[in-house]
C-alpha cells in the first residue's frame, strides 16, 4: 500500500509540474481561441426574421417551408407578414427584417442598396396574373375575352396594397400601353378582401404578381366566370423590361381532366429573389441558400426541374454563400457532420491554424521549464549541503552538530519525489551527502587523535 501511495504521489507530482510548466502557454492558447471565437462569431444567432408577404400568398407558403427547414438546425425563423415586395425592401433597409422575398421590378433600388443588400439567388418566377370577370369583359368585347391592357379602360381594377409592389409594376405596363391610370377605376385592397370584392361583382378585374403556389391563384384559375388575360405581346414586354420574362401557362396544366386552362395562356413574369442584409450571419445565409436548393429546385408550371435557384436576373450583388450553394456541391464536412459542427470547423480552422503556428515556437520552452522544475527539487538541497561543507572547512561547528545537520538534510532528501528519468540526480545528491558525512567523520577523528597526542 505504501509503495502504491508513493508511486501515485510521484505521478501526481509529475502531472503538477507539467501543468505548471505548460499552464501559462496553454492558458495563452485558450485565450487566443476564445478571443477569435468572440471576434469571428462562428455560431449563428438562434432567431432570424424573414419578411414574406400577404396572408395566403406564395411568399407566406414559402416562408413556412424555410421556417420548417431551419428549425431542423435549431434556428427559429420569425415570419413577418407584409403587403409585398416594396414593403419587404423597406424592412430590409430599416433592419427590421434580416431576409426577404423581393420580386424584380417591384420597387426602385436606392443608391445604398448595392452596399447594404445581397442576393441569395433567383428563386422562382412570378407571373402577372390579371383575372377579369367574363360579364364585365362582354361590355368591351362581345366574345367576353380580353387580349390587352388597353381594353381595361373604364373597368374597376384592383392593383394590390400600397406596399405590395404590384402598383409600381402595373404603372410601368400601363404607361407602355399608353393607358393613363386615371382612365381606370383603381383600388388598392389587400389580396383577400380584393378577391372577395371580385367574386361579389364589385370589381371587374384584379392583378396579382405571385407564384402559382398561391392558394388565391389556384382558386381563381378554376372559378367559373373568371378568365385570365392572355399577354399576346409577352415577348415584346420582355424586350422592353429586363426584369420581365415571357412564360406560358400550358393548356390543361391546372386540371388535365377539366382541361383548365382550355388553351395556352401567354404571360409575363418577374423573377423573385431572396435578399438579405449585408451584416446577416454567414451561417444563416448558408442555411437559407442550401434550403432554397430543396424548396425551389422542383419542376413547376413555368420551369423544369433544377432551373431554380439560379444566378440569373440578379439586380444586386450575389452573396458568396448563395453562389456556392447554387454552383457547387455541399462542402465536404457538411456531408458527414451536423451543420453546426461543420460550420464551426469551417469558420474556425484558419484561425486555429494561425494560433497553432504562433503557439508552436512557444511550446519549445515547455520541456526546459519542466526539466528545471523537477531538477530544482533536487538542486535546492545542494545549497544547504554546501553550507554544511563550508562550516566544516572553516571549523566553526562541531562535528556532532554537522552530523545532526547532515541527518536532517538526508531526511528531507528522502522525501523528495522525482520521475524515474531524473532519479540519477537524486541518488547523486544522496551520495554527495554521504561524502560530506565521511569528511566530517574524518575531520572528527583527526581532531580526536590530535587531542590525545596533546594530552
* Cα–Cα distance for residue pair 106/92, rounded to 1 Å: 15
Q: In 3D, which of 56, 289, 320, 81 has the Cα closest to residue 191?
A: 56
Is 351 a member of any domain? no
51 and 16 in a single domain? The answer is no
Are both 287 and 243 inside the same structural domain?
Answer: yes
Whether 414 and 269 share a structural domain: no
Higher-pLDDT residue of 29 and 96 is 96
User: 71-85, 122-136, 266-280, 315-329: which range is least confident on average?
Assistant: 315-329
| pLDDT tens string 382-399 | 888 888 888 888 877 887
For residues 63 and 8, membership in a common domain is answered with no
Better-predicted residue by pLDDT, 326 or 29: 326
b (16+ CB within 10 A) / e for 406-433? beebbeebeeebbeeeeeeebeebbebb
Which pLDDT does position 126 carry in this prediction?
85
Among 277, 308, 328, which residue terminates a domain? Answer: 328
On whether the pTM is more than 0.85, the answer is no
Residues 216 and 317 in one domain: yes
Last-in-domain residue among 312, 328, 344: 328
Asked if residue 203 has pLDDT above 90, the reply is yes
Domain assignment present for residue 83? The answer is yes
Contact at 8 Å (CB) between 315 and 104? yes
**Are 372 and 242 in the same domain?**
no
- pLDDT of 54: 85
- Does 4 have pLDDT greater than 60? no
All three cell numbers of 168, joined, read 409600381
Q: What pLDDT does 28 receive?
A: 64
For residue 268, the cross-strand partners are: 246
DSSP annotation string for 334-395: HHHS-HHHHHHHHHHHHHHHHHHHHHHHHHTTHHHHHHHHHHHHHHHHHHHHHHHHHHHHHT
Across the range 182-199, mean pLDDT stands at 91
Q: CATH no. for residue 177?
A: 3.40.190.10
Residue 245 and residue 390 in one domain = no
Q: Which contacts qualify for 297-305: CB closer than 8 Å, 24 or more apart?
A: 300/124, 300/211, 300/212, 301/212, 301/249, 301/250, 301/253, 302/125, 302/127, 302/212, 302/247, 302/248, 302/249, 302/269, 303/124, 303/125
Q: Tell me whether residue 356 is in a domain.
A: no
pLDDT, tens digit, 9 for 90 and up, residues 288-337:
999 999 999 888 888 888 888 888 777 788 898 888 888 877 776 677 77
Q: Kindly give the pairing relationship between strand 117-133 and strand 226-228.
A: antiparallel
- Residue 54 is assigned to a structural domain of this protein: yes
Dihedral sign (CA 372, 376, 382, 384): positive
Could you give the number of structural domains in the chain?
Answer: 2
Residues 369 and 280 in one domain: no
Structural domain contains residue 146: yes
8-state DSSP, 416: -
Last residue of a domain, one of 328, 345, 379: 328
The answer on 244 and 114 residing in a single domain is yes
Burial (CB < 10 A; 0-12, 13-18, 19+), residue 61, is middle
Q: Are residues 145 and 103 in the same domain?
A: yes
Dihedrals φ, ψ of 200, to 5°? -80, -5
Q: Is the pLDDT of residue 1 over 50?
A: no
Same domain, 159 and 263: yes
Q: In terms of residue numbers, what domain contains 399?
A: 2-20+361-453
Q: What are the tens digits of pLDDT across the range 98-155?
A: 999 998 766 567 777 888 999 998 898 889 999 999 999 999 988 888 888 999 999 9
Question: Within the chain, how many helices (H) and strands (E) appear?
Answer: 16, 10
The confidence score (pLDDT) of residue 52 equals 93
pLDDT of residue 42: 62
Q: Is residue 26 part of a domain?
A: no
Amino acid at each position: 500500500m505504501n509503495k502504491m501511495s508513493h508511486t501515485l504521489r510521484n505521478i501526481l507530482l509529475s502531472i503538477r509540474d507539467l501543468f505548471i510548466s505548460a499552464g501559462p502557454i496553454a492558458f495563452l492558447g485558450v485565450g487566443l481561441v476564445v478571443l477569435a471565437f468572440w471576434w469571428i462569431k462562428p455560431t449563428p444567432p438562434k432567431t432570424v426574421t424573414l419578411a414574406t408577404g400577404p396572408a395566403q400568398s406564395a411568399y407566406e407558403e414559402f416562408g413556412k417551408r424555410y421556417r420548417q427547414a431551419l428549425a431542423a438546425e435549431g434556428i427559429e425563423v420569425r415570419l413577418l407578414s407584409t403587403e409585398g415586395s416594396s414593403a419587404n425592401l423597406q424592412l430590409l433597409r430599416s433592419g427590421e427584417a434580416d431576409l426577404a422575398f423581393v420580386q424584380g421590378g417591384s420597387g426602385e433600388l436606392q443608391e445604398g442598396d448595392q452596399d447594404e443588400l445581397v442576393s441569395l439567388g433567383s428563386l422562382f418566377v412570378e407571373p402577372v396574373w390579371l383575372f377579369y370577370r367574363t360579364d364585365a369583359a362582354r361590355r368591351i368585347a362581345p366574345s367576353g375575352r380580353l387580349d390587352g391592357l388597353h381594353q381595361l379602360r373604364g373597368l374597376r381594377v384592383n392593383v394590390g396594397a400600397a406596399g405590395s409592389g404590384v402598383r409600381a409594376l402595373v404603372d410601368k405596363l400601363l404607361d407602355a400601353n399608353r393607358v393613363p391610370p386615371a382612365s381606370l377605376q383603381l383600388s388598392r385592397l389587400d389580396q383577400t378582401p380584393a378577391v372577395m370584392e371580385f367574386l361579389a361583382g364589385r370589381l371587374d378585374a384584379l392583378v396579382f404578381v405571385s407564384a402559382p403556389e398561391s392558394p388565391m391563384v389556384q382558386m381563381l384559375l378554376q372559378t367559373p366566370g373568371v378568365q385570365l388575360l392572355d399577354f399576346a405581346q409577352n415577348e415584346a414586354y420582355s424586350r422592353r423590361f429586363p426584369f420581365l420574362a415571357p412564360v406560358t401557362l400550358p393548356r390543361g396544366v391546372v386540371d388535365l381532366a377539366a382541361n383548365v386552362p382550355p388553351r395556352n395562356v401567354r404571360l409575363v413574369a418577374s423573377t423573385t429573389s431572396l435578399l438579405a442584409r449585408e451584416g446577416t450571419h454567414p451561417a444563416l445565409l448558408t442555411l437559407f441558400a442550401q434550403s432554397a436548393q430543396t424548396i425551389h429546385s422542383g419542376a413547376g408550371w413555368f420551369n423544369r426541374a433544377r432551373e431554380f435557384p439560379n444566378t440569373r436576373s440578379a439586380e444586386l450583388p450575389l452573396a458568396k454563400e448563395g453562389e456556392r450553394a447554387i454552383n457547387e456541391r455541399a462542402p465536404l464536412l457538411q456531408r458527414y457532420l451536423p451543420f453546426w459542427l461543420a460550420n464551426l470547423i469551417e469558420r474556425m480552422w484558419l484561425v486555429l491554424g494561425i494560433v497553432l503556428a504562433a503557439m508552436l515556437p512557444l511550446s519549445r520552452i515547455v520541456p526546459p521549464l519542466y526539466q528545471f522544475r523537477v531538477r530544482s527539487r533536487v538542486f535546492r538541497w545542494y545549497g544547504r549541503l554546501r553550507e554544511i561543507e563550508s562550516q566544516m572547512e572553516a571549523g566553526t561547528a562541531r562535528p556532532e552538530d554537522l552530523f545532526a545537520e547532515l541527518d536532517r538534510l538526508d531526511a528531507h532528501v528522502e522525501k523528495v519525489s522525482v520521475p524515474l528519468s531524473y532519479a540519477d540526480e537524486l541518488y547523486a545528491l544522496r551520495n554527495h551527502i554521504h561524502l560530506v558525512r565521511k569528511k566530517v567523520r574524518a575531520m572528527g577523528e583527526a581532531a580526536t587523535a590530535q587531542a590525545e597526542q596533546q594530552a
